[in-house]
Amino acid sequence: MAAEDYEPGAAKQDPATGAVAVRTVFPDVEGLHDRQWGVMTTSNGGHYATYDRIKHWLNLNQIPGDPDPDVYVGAPPEESIPV
């Protein structure tokens, strides 16, 4: 998977810290790739992150194009648990 596989509004969560990332509208192009995900934390506020930084976090909502209509928690989708 890559950043462009996620629609704006897709969400991921770091299970270790509880931080949540939301896919922004910024494309994966030079100069904007570091703003692909808006991250909010409970300890140090918000910041932007690249997909590489959050790609192993849990998926909190369905990924467009996923053949299973259920919403998943976990990544990658084929190893996720339907909720």
C-alpha span between 83 and 64 (Å, rounded): 17
The two structure tokens encoding residue 23: 């896919």
pLDDT of residue 7: 87
C-alpha span between 36 and 15 (Å, rounded): 20
User: In the predicted model, what is the mean pLDDT of the chain?
Assistant: 79
Over residues 39-52, mean pLDDT: 92
pLDDT-based confidence at 46, cuts 50/70/90? Answer: very high
Over residues 23-28, mean pLDDT: 85
pLDDT of residue 69: 46
Backbone torsions φ then ψ of 53, nearest 5 degrees: -75, -30
